[in-house]
Amino acid sequence: MSNDNLVMYHNPNCSKSRETLQILRDNDREPVVVDYLENPPREDELRRIIGLLGVSARDLLRTTEQVYRDAELDDDTLTEDELIEAICEYPALLQRPIVIANERAVIGRPPARVLEIIA
C-alpha cells in the first residue's frame, strides 16, 4: 500500500502514540514520523492540521500539562491565534498522536482511530 502523504506527529514517550505507530506498521504503512517535541509544527502547519481535523486550537490542547496551567490557557477569552501561538511555543500542549493521510487527519485516541483514514 502506498505511504505517500502519510505523516504522524509522534511522541515516542507516549504509549498511545507508540501504539498508533504500531497499528500503521501492522497495516503495512510506514509514515513520515515527526517528533513534534523536537520539531514542533510551524503556525501554518498547525493551522492546516486544525483544518484537516475540523477542530479548534482549544480542542488540541492537553489540559493536563503543567505548562497549560502555567500559561493560564484555561482563559476562555484567548483567541484561536493566541492558542495556536501557545501550541507552537509549547509543543507538549499538542494532543497526540496526530496522523494525516491523503488530506484527512485523526487524533489517535484511541489508537485504532487511525484505521479510519488509511483504509
Please give the CATH number for the structural domain made up of 6-118: 3.40.30.10
> pLDDT (tens digit, 9 = 90+) per residue, 18-49?
999 999 999 999 999 999 999 999 999 999 99
pLDDT at 79: 98
pLDDT at 4: 62
What DSSP letter does each residue of the chain carry, written as one string? ---TTEEEEE-TT-HHHHHHHHHHHHTT--PEEEETTTSPPPHHHHHHHHHHHT--GGGGB-TTSHHHHHTTTT-TT--HHHHHHHHHH-GGGB-S-EEEETTEEEE-SSGGGGHHHH-
pTM (two decimals): 0.92
Q: What is the mean pLDDT of each run of 10 residues along the chain (119 residues)?
A: 78 96 97 96 97 97 96 96 97 97 94 93
Active-site choice (3, 7, 14, 68) = 14
88 in catalytic set: no
pLDDT at 3: 57
